[in-house]
């Protein structure tokens, strides 16, 4: 078995590549380096620089590296950017996936793991989001992930390829400082950025119908997420009734924005009070995964808590940004 990991030099991709290699899997990475960092990958993992939209390159990688399975993570993933540039998101996220799947089907690839997102659900009014919760994405990013799931399942059914779609919830943390997220797009690095600039963290709305009035989310350590990919890949390798699976990847536990900021203050030693601003459009009061199916079909459970996420992310932030 040789697994191609697209987006393999990215924040999540490098964690997945290292987890799979560490477990004895053979891995090759493909990344256009728009956000990826080559130094995240150890020397033993081949890194091909290029895009999934390059059909000739995709075919070349499959042939030259004897690829037998794909873990597809390469995608654009910023919600606000997707609203401003919807055609780019459809072109790269859906078009790139279509090109990759065409090459995979032509090469006889039998296993495909797709990086999806809880954004496919939109803002459901439920206590726990299960895989059967209706999908109603509220932005182009979520739409491209849902369309990607449809495409993966259809290609799998048409060509006898076993597939798994993993719907991530909120990813944080790092397995090592070098592997940490270098962007400032998610809540943990956004709070770090405010504190580093000697500014108070921001809370967007504190009048939601939640215990402390702030939004509640399910946070997953990126190292746990990487292990979920390994579990999914091995589930497909075992064959049998793998078929086409859709699985939430979360802890099944909710943490409010105010609770998370409190933990960040404890870890950083900067516990200044957050400032409350107006709600942001589209924020759901609560979005927490049911993690039951992941345990049942993948034999996977998250092992790391929110404090470990924040502590490891803070170490990475200090390495990349200083204080």
State the DSSP code for 285: S
pLDDT the model gives residue 239: 73
> Could you give the residue numbers annotated as active site?
141
* pTM, 2 dp: 0.96
Joined tokens for residue 253: 């536990």
pLDDT the model gives residue 323: 53
pLDDT the model gives residue 321: 86
CB 243 within 8 A of CB 153: no
270's CB contacts (< 8 A; 6+ apart) are 195
Q: Distance between CA atoms of 107 and 71, rounded to whole angstroms?
A: 15
pLDDT the model gives residue 69: 97
**pLDDT tens string for the chain (323 positions)?**
999 999 999 999 999 999 999 999 999 999 999 999 999 999 999 999 999 999 999 999 999 999 999 999 999 999 999 999 999 999 999 999 999 999 999 999 999 999 999 999 999 999 999 999 999 999 999 999 999 999 999 999 999 999 999 999 999 999 999 999 988 989 999 999 999 999 999 999 999 999 999 999 999 999 999 999 999 999 999 875 557 899 999 999 999 999 999 999 999 999 999 999 999 888 899 999 999 999 999 999 999 999 999 999 999 999 988 65
Q: Which domains does the chain have, with CATH numbers?
A: 2-171+219-249 (3.40.50.720), 173-217+252-321 (3.90.25.10)
Q: Distance between CA atoms of 175 and 40, rounded to whole angstroms?
A: 11
Query: Could you report how far apart the first and last alpha carbons of the chain are, in Å?
Result: 43
CB 27 within 8 A of CB 20: yes
What is the enclosing helix (H) or strand (E) of 31?
Answer: strand 26-31
Q: Distance between CA atoms of 170 and 118, rounded to whole angstroms?
A: 8
HSE of 158, CA atoms in CB hemisphere, 13 A = 11
| Residue of 216, 200, 185, 213 lying closest to 289 (CA atoms) | 216
CB 317 within 8 A of CB 180: yes
pLDDT the model gives residue 144: 98
Q: Distance between CA atoms of 83 and 193, rounded to whole angstroms?
A: 24
Give exposure, 19-42, as e/b (b: 16+ Cβ within 10 Å). bbbeeebbbbbbbbeebbbeebbe
């Amino acid at each position: 078995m040789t697994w191609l990991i697209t987006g393999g030099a990215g924040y999540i991709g490098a964690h997945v590549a290292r987890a799979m290699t560490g477990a004895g899997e053979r891995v090759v990475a493909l990344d256009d380096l728009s956000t990826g960092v080559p130094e995240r990958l150890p020397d033993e993992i081949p890194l091909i620089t290029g895009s999934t939209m390059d059909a000739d390159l995709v075919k070349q990688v499959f042939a030259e590296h004897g690829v037998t399975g794909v873990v597809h993570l390469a995608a654009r993933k910023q919600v606000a950017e997707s609203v401003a540039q919807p055609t780019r998101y459809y072109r790269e996220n859906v078009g790139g996936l279509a090109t990759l799947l065409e090459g995979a089907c032509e090469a006889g690839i039998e296993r495909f793991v797709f990086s999806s997102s809880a954004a496919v659900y939109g803002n459901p009014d439920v206590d726990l989001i299960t895989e059967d919760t209706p999908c109603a994405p509220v932005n182009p990013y979520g739409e491209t992930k849902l369309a990607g799931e449809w495409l993966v399942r259809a290609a799998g059914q048409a060509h006898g390829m076993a597939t798994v779609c993993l719907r991530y919830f909120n990813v944080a943390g790092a397995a090592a400082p070098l592997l940490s997220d270098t962007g400032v797009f998610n809540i943990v690095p956004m709070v770090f950025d405010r504190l580093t600039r000697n500014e108070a963290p921001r809370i967007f709305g504190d009048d939601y119908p939640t215990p402390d009035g702030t939004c509640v989310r399910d946070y997953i350590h990126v190292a746990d997420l990487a292990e979920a990919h390994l579990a999914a890949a091995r589930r497909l390798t075992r064959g049998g009734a793998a078929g086409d699976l859709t699985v939430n990847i979360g802890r099944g536990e909710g943490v409010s924005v105010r609770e998370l900021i409190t933990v960040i203050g404890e870890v950083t030693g900067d516990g200044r009070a957050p400032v409350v601003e107006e709600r942001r459009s589209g924020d759901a009061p609560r979005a927490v995964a049911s993690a039951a199916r992941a345990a049942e079909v993948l034999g996977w459970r998250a092992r790391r808590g929110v404090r470990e996420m924040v502590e490891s992310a803070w170490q990475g932030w200090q390495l990349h940004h200083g204080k």
